[in-house]
Structure 1
Amino acid sequence: MGKVRKRKPKPSKTVNNATANDAEEEELPVDNKENVIQTIIDQLQAADVEEKYCGLQTFAMLLESQESLEQMINRGLVKMVAPLLLDPASSVRNAAAGSLRNLSTVGHEMCDVLMEQDVMTSLIFYYHQYTESWIPDPTSKNKDDFDTFVQCTNLLLNLCESSELAVKYLGDSKILDIFPKYLDLSTFGVDIVTAVMQCLFVVVEDNPLATERVKNSSERQLKELLLLEDNDPSALLIKTLAGGVIINMCGGNISILPVDVMNQIIATLARTLSLDHRLACNQLSSNVPLSNAVGKVEPPKGKEGQVLENQIKSVLQVLDAQQSAIEIIANVCSCDDADDCMEGPESSDSDEPLDEDSCSNGEGVLLAEDRLPPELLEGLISLEIFDKVWARTQLPPENVLTILKEYEGTQLIYKKLHNLQTRALLCINNILLNLPIENLGGVSGVYKIWAAAGKLVFKQNSENLNLLESATAVMRAALDKIKLKSNEKGNESNLFSELALSDIELMLTGIRDCQEPEIRSNLIRMIGILALLLVSNLNETSSNVICTITDFILDQAHKENEVWVLAEAVDTLVDLYSEDETDLLAAKVKLVDKLAVLAPILKNKARQQKKLPKEYKVLVTTANSNLPRFIKYKKARLSKL
């Protein structure tokens, strides 16, 4: 959201003369680099507009080098660039805004640096000084002020996404009182309205004070934007964002919205996700210039160049709109009270193992989908939202991706495609928890989802850790869904009845080699659920698989450094062996003795690692509480064998 293609330096004799060798910058000796940085400092502090502009352009170019970036930060250049957002010259403000916005896209850590370097103060003063009464002049050829507003708003968005302190500073400023006038599409155009909407989408989430201010000033405008009649990518992006802001203003609780507004939002999300992002990228790749015989790429110029630029912008709008739509759907399907059923049994003093059916509506398990508003559930099903989100997990063909990655003008599209895939998988995880299995293609349909996610995890050797985490979360949720269905009488699934040791070796190797605790946790839970699904169809093969998985999880638990992942492993074993049919297997693997050794290890690690996020603390507390009771319960049963 809000991260757009890096601006190219404007042609300037001053810039060209001062930076003639910048293309070879990374080959410069260290002392030359230091000289260049000192030159930038001198230029930024000069009184002459061209000098300052030249310094900003060189600063922007050196951002490409990690070494130079670190040197510039250490020399305090960010603190020198930020005040130039308030420079009297519009070209200087524009160059400062573009370079700082580009810097904010590097990552959350860089946004932390920007906050530490007090960029937020200058940014707030920019809005107070230059935007309270500004209205663009449609006859002016100088678009610096227009572009500066967009760049500053995207910078503000990135800082607020990364820092709660930035959100606080924003709330203490006049910015939320200034933004409403910039929602006038006829006056300010698509780019400015989109930038403001993207920022509001983030800022009002879980922020009652911001919500109240925006609601009082902008509720009517937001509903008007939601009802735009156009369905081109730019309009769908604005309509999608309007729906997202409206939902966030009601605390994410879509059920309190009027039914007609809810239906309009869901229909907008469905329309946005109906755009074929893969086809759009395929068509774009056909127009992207390729490298010539000497390996150089010549960007098209004139009318042809403008056509390509417009096509790139349109594809970016499609991807931004679809990512926003997916985030909205993921949020409304997050079902925060889904863990309510777990709270009661955890504090019980009973020696009996936890029973999944203990939380019921009088007719069995209280299904997660029962918590979604009926109108929302009906909309998700009738508009085939699941299929539309799943389609976003599919990337364009490899040759198309290569073309997009190699051309500078489309590199951001390449990045956004992978971000969209990851967000779509996280959304699929939430939808799996909330849609009836019958609307997901039944058990076989969910199994296909599990298998497809497994290919992403185990067969692509992906270095994208965010993708791996989201894909393993989908695998885990899919097996949970299948397990829940198989627990119903007459619904035992035989999908995994023929599973052999050779089939799970790839998974076990993947867990052993996994360095990321979140991914490791998902995979441990997943193979535990897999073992549990085999319990209903015990034979020699399935028993061997269950024993192998048990030994593996126990071995991993002893090696585990993160207490919450250790707790996940313990909880997985407790779930697996709470079934009475597993008593003989428990005796075979000496489960009780091995868990008794693990119990004090878990308790000690819990004492050592007290600073954990809330959800991890709950997991660790639950495991610590349940393990002694489970050992006592299972020991009593095994003594009767």
Structure 2
Amino acid sequence: MGKIRKTRTKRTVVVDNSDEEEELATDSKENAIQTIIDQLQAADVEEKYCGLQTFAIMIENSENIPQLLNCGLVKVAAPLLLDQASSVRNAAAGTLRNLSTVTMDTCDAMMEQDIMTPVVSYFHEHAESWVPDTNSKTKDEDIDTFIQIINLLLNLCESSDLAVKYLGQSRILDILPRYLDFGTFNADVVTAVLQCLFVVVEDNPAAMAKIISNAEKQLQALLGLEGEDPAIVLLKTLSAGVIINTCGGNITTLPTDVINRIMSILANTLSVDHRLICSQLSSTVPLRDELGKVEAPKGKAAQELESQIQAVLQMLNAQQSAIEIIANICSSEDADDKESSNSSDNDDADEELLENGVETHLAEDNLVTEVMEAFISLEMFDKVWGKTQLPASNVMLILKEYEASQLIHKRLLSLQTRALLCINNLISTLPIENLGGINGLYKIWVDTGKLAFKQDVESVHLSESATAVMRAALDKIKFRDNANSNVSSLFTDLALSDIEIMLTGIRECQVPEIRSNLIRMVGILASLLVNNLNDVTSSVICTITEFVLEQAHKENEVWVLAEAIDTLVDLYSEDETDGLAAKVKLVDKLAILAPILRNKARQQKRLPKEYKVLVSTASSNLPRFIKYKKGRISRL
């Protein structure tokens, strides 16, 4: 599959050798893998090093990875993290770390091949008292090995609960705090450890307790570092994130002066113009000549360019971390509120919440006063929104084409996606007046739509995060100013041609999360037209209704089906829609969907908690809604 048959110029008879060539290719790969295994198990240092280099090269082609894993190469290579030769340890650490970045499934396969035993042993044997020796010839190599293994540990823990369990049973969390001493270890080492702690401490009470006990002073010292150098900015930002995670995301448990300092650090980090620094970098990056070749700089120029690239990467990493911290602050407060409400009957609470179409409790009430005031006074929303905008297309192209700056190109795309996810949380959390009111939210919806539906969008993650923002903006518009004439006027001229791109997006979308966002979005748009019914708006509402019903019948994911049904129930909950409901035969069509929803719910029981709630709510509300609407339509 995907194989290209080579032209044989010296033969006049065409013969199909595809099976033979495929067999040869497979045999050749198996031979190469066996050679690697033999080299890794050799006694000679050069043999082991050569085997690890070949292993690393094969990883670069993702098609090789399943076979590499199936042959048990991780189990053979992992013990080399403890090899006596510094060069072998370094090569093993770099190769295994690169492998752990492929997918979560790859990390799971590495766990099955006992990757954690040598990783834990490395920290116990090599890191408990290690300090870089300035006189050692392998100092830089040893530092790089430590950083690579820290990153390997981070990736494994991010993908596997079992890795987190291994971590908790080891002494690693007692060892790592010593590497937060910025006077003894360089910025790269301290940064790597902070990045790891930022991940492993989150939602991990045992890890929180150890870091509070062993690293509180070091974290406070890092938080108070002076200077605006990108490396310092990154250290302060990560320290803020670790401190927040050590208190379970509940920032209110921290002293007020610490909260204020953290908020100031996040704001300062996001104040740096990422588009400007990337544009400045692109002007120093060498360009391709007419033959497509790039002449890399040499000597001092090469060192200056490498330093500039490193500084930009550090700043982008700091900004992404700041955005993730802000998003977590919003969501953790929201989660606390949800947990406290679980003790009451959810159905009754929902009815009370939306009684007479007005919310009695606003989402922004979940954020504590100190944090809310900081978000508003420091203009945090605007700063995060700025990170959703990429540098100019020519700058992006230059950064993408030059090998040394390709990682910056990837970081920019990741920063944009994370910023959108954070905006989604901020929209739900901040008061509507601090988002520019109804008109400001409408502009956010339009501008984000340009990102979500642009022709050259390649990232599924971008589409998902952008449609989530659009949905959140419309939700805010609908539920904060329901039946407001100003809202209705924004959408009065909405025609089918305006939403056709969204309908097309739903039809063609292969990602359930995006389909769900788009279905809910068109449903909200239709509901905003209910307050201004005329021939045009009625036609739009009916078309949207029939479209959502059609998609519901095609939907395989039960939670997306539930989203579609819930969308229709919300849309037609208003009594003004009785005539439209009769016109599209809504009750009969929903009655057909009811047993389909029940069957899929029985078949797809293993769902995340929020999806289970959605399915349960839709299953419970649908029969009652059908009965209610049927009675009203019968009286028309």
Q: Does TM, normalized by the shorter one, top 0.5?
A: yes
Following TM superposition, by how much is the alpha carbon of 1:505 offset from its aligned partner in structure 2, in angstroms?
1.1
1:169-184 matches, within 5 Å, as 169-184=166-181
Q: Of 108, 112, 117, which residue of structure 1 is paired with 2:113?
A: 117
Identify if the C-alpha distance between structure 1 residues 485 and 300 changes in structure 2 by more than 3 Å, giving closer, same or farther. Answer: same
Which residue identity lines up with residue 124 of structure 1 in the other structure? V
Q: Of 377, 385, 390, which residue of structure 2 is paired with 1:390?
A: 385
1:256-271 matches, within 5 Å, as 256-271=253-268
- Matches of 2:561 and 2:359, distance apart in 1: 31
Residue 438 of structure 2 contacts residue 487 of structure 2 at CA under 8 Å; is this kept in 1? no
Following TM superposition, by how much is the alpha carbon of 1:576 offset from its aligned partner in structure 2, in angstroms?
0.8
Residue 33 of structure 2 contacts residue 68 of structure 2 at CA under 8 Å; is this kept in 1? yes
- Matches of 1:238 and 1:573, distance apart in 2: 48
- Matches of 1:392 and 1:268, distance apart in 2: 16
Q: Of 425, 436, 454, which residue of structure 1 is paired with 2:431?
A: 436
Which residue identity lines up with residue 199 of structure 2 in the other structure? V
1:169-219, Cα deviation, whole Å (9 max, x unpaired)? 111111000001100001001001000000000011000001001110111
- Matches of 1:444 and 1:342, distance apart in 2: 34
1:37 correspondence with 2:36: no
What is the match of residue 102 of structure 2?
106
- Matches of 1:587 and 1:345, distance apart in 2: 33
1:379-458 matches, within 5 Å, as 379-458=374-453
1:551-571, Cα deviation, whole Å (9 max, x unpaired)? 111111111111111110111
Q: Of 574, 591, 594, which residue of structure 1 is paired with 2:569?
A: 574
Residue 238 of structure 2 contacts residue 321 of structure 2 at CA under 8 Å; is this kept in 1? yes
What is the match of residue 236 of structure 1?
233
3-state SS, counterpart of residue 459 of structure 1: coil
Q: Of 243, 247, 250, which residue of structure 2 is paired with 1:246?
A: 243
3-state SS, counterpart of residue 494 of structure 1: helix
What is the match of residue 79 of structure 1?
75
Which residue identity lines up with residue 140 of structure 1 in the other structure? S
Q: Of 249, 252, 255, which residue of structure 2 is paired with 1:255?
A: 252
1:398-447, Cα deviation, whole Å (9 max, x unpaired)? 12212222222122111111111111100000000011111111111111
- Matches of 2:466 and 2:343, distance apart in 1: 27
Following TM superposition, by how much is the alpha carbon of 1:491 offset from its aligned partner in structure 2, in angstroms?
5.3
Residue 353 of structure 2 contacts residue 361 of structure 2 at CA under 8 Å; is this kept in 1? no
What is the match of residue 490 of structure 2?
495
What is the match of residue 615 of structure 1?
610
Residue 488 of structure 2 contacts residue 532 of structure 2 at CA under 8 Å; is this kept in 1? no
Following TM superposition, by how much is the alpha carbon of 1:254 offset from its aligned partner in structure 2, in angstroms?
1.0
- Matches of 1:511 and 1:364, distance apart in 2: 30
1:58 correspondence with 2:57: no
1:354-369 matches, within 5 Å, as 354=351, 356-358=353-355, 365-369=360-364
Q: Which moved more, 1:441-450 or 1:298-307?
A: 298-307
Count of aligned pairs: 610
Residue 381 of structure 2 contacts residue 426 of structure 2 at CA under 8 Å; is this kept in 1? yes
Residue 486 of structure 1 contacts residue 493 of structure 1 at CA under 8 Å; is this kept in 2? no
- Matches of 1:291 and 1:501, distance apart in 2: 46
What is the match of residue 97 of structure 1?
93
1:56-99, Cα deviation, whole Å (9 max, x unpaired)? 12221222123333333232222221110000011110111111
3-state SS, counterpart of residue 188 of structure 1: coil
1:126-181, Cα deviation, whole Å (9 max, x unpaired)? 11110111111234343111111111001111111111111111111110000011
Which residue identity lines up with residue 414 of structure 2 in the other structure? N
What is the match of residue 477 of structure 1?
472
What is the match of residue 275 of structure 2?
278
- Matches of 2:391 and 2:337, distance apart in 1: 35
Residue 40 of structure 2 contacts residue 47 of structure 2 at CA under 8 Å; is this kept in 1? yes
3-state SS, counterpart of residue 536 of structure 1: helix
- Matches of 2:571 and 2:518, distance apart in 1: 15
Which residue identity lines up with residue 452 of structure 1 in the other structure? D
Identify if the C-alpha distance between structure 1 residues 407 and 40 changes in structure 2 by more than 3 Å, giving closer, same or farther. Answer: same
Q: Which moved more, 1:30-39 or 1:445-454?
A: 30-39
3-state SS, counterpart of residue 491 of structure 2: coil
Following TM superposition, by how much is the alpha carbon of 1:304 offset from its aligned partner in structure 2, in angstroms?
1.4
Which residue identity lines up with residue 613 of structure 1 in the other structure? P
3-state SS, counterpart of residue 74 of structure 2: helix
Residue 443 of structure 1 contacts residue 493 of structure 1 at CA under 8 Å; is this kept in 2? no
Residue 86 of structure 2 contacts residue 142 of structure 2 at CA under 8 Å; is this kept in 1? yes
Identify if the C-alpha distance between structure 1 residues 548 and 341 changes in structure 2 by more than 3 Å, giving closer, same or farther. Answer: farther
1:322 correspondence with 2:319: yes
What is the match of residue 506 of structure 1?
501
Residue 190 of structure 1 contacts residue 234 of structure 1 at CA under 8 Å; is this kept in 2? yes
1:564 correspondence with 2:563: no
Unpaired runs of 5+ residues, structure 2, are 1-21
Q: Which moved more, 1:476-485 or 1:340-349?
A: 340-349
Q: What is the Cα-based RMSD across aligned positions, in Å?
A: 2.1
Identify if the C-alpha distance between structure 1 residues 558 and 355 changes in structure 2 by more than 3 Å, giving closer, same or farther. Answer: farther
Following TM superposition, by how much is the alpha carbon of 1:344 offset from its aligned partner in structure 2, in angstroms?
5.4
Which residue identity lines up with residue 242 of structure 1 in the other structure? S
What is the match of residue 589 of structure 1?
584
- Matches of 1:279 and 1:120, distance apart in 2: 42
Identify if the C-alpha distance between structure 1 residues 501 and 39 changes in structure 2 by more than 3 Å, giving closer, same or farther. Answer: same
Following TM superposition, by how much is the alpha carbon of 1:634 offset from its aligned partner in structure 2, in angstroms?
1.3
Q: Which moved more, 1:331-340 or 1:527-536?
A: 331-340
What is the match of residue 458 of structure 2?
463
**TM-score, normalised relative to structure 2:** 0.92
What is the match of residue 377 of structure 1?
372
Following TM superposition, by how much is the alpha carbon of 1:40 offset from its aligned partner in structure 2, in angstroms?
2.2
- Matches of 1:135 and 1:223, distance apart in 2: 22
- Matches of 2:496 and 2:607, distance apart in 1: 35
Higher relative contact order (CA 8 A, sep 6+): 1
Which residue identity lines up with residue 529 of structure 1 in the other structure? I
What is the match of residue 636 of structure 1?
631
Q: Of 492, 516, 519, which residue of structure 2 is paired with 1:521?
A: 516
1:94-140, Cα deviation, whole Å (9 max, x unpaired)? 11111111111112222122212211111110111101111112343
Residue 345 of structure 1 contacts residue 354 of structure 1 at CA under 8 Å; is this kept in 2? no
Identity %: 67
Following TM superposition, by how much is the alpha carbon of 1:584 offset from its aligned partner in structure 2, in angstroms?
1.4
1:160-239 matches, within 5 Å, as 160-239=157-236
Unpaired runs of 5+ residues, structure 1, are 1-25
Identify if the C-alpha distance between structure 1 residues 355 and 591 changes in structure 2 by more than 3 Å, giving closer, same or farther. Answer: farther
Identify if the C-alpha distance between structure 1 residues 346 and 623 changes in structure 2 by more than 3 Å, giving closer, same or farther. Answer: farther
- Matches of 2:494 and 2:162, distance apart in 1: 51
Following TM superposition, by how much is the alpha carbon of 1:580 offset from its aligned partner in structure 2, in angstroms?
1.3
Following TM superposition, by how much is the alpha carbon of 1:636 offset from its aligned partner in structure 2, in angstroms?
1.7
1:336 correspondence with 2:335: yes
Q: Of 66, 71, 79, which residue of structure 2 is paired with 1:70?
A: 66
Which residue identity lines up with residue 482 of structure 1 in the other structure? I
Identify if the C-alpha distance between structure 1 residues 581 and 182 changes in structure 2 by more than 3 Å, giving closer, same or farther. Answer: same
Following TM superposition, by how much is the alpha carbon of 1:300 offset from its aligned partner in structure 2, in angstroms?
2.2
Identify if the C-alpha distance between structure 1 residues 628 and 29 changes in structure 2 by more than 3 Å, giving closer, same or farther. Answer: closer
Following TM superposition, by how much is the alpha carbon of 1:287 offset from its aligned partner in structure 2, in angstroms?
1.9
Following TM superposition, by how much is the alpha carbon of 1:241 offset from its aligned partner in structure 2, in angstroms?
0.7
Q: Of 285, 304, 324, which residue of structure 2 is paired with 1:288?
A: 285
Residue 558 of structure 2 contacts residue 604 of structure 2 at CA under 8 Å; is this kept in 1? yes
Which residue identity lines up with residue 336 of structure 1 in the other structure? A
3-state SS, counterpart of residue 396 of structure 1: coil
Q: Which moved more, 1:43-52 or 1:452-461?
A: 452-461
- Matches of 1:595 and 1:402, distance apart in 2: 49
What is the match of residue 3 of structure 1?
none
Identify if the C-alpha distance between structure 1 residues 529 and 216 changes in structure 2 by more than 3 Å, giving closer, same or farther. Answer: same
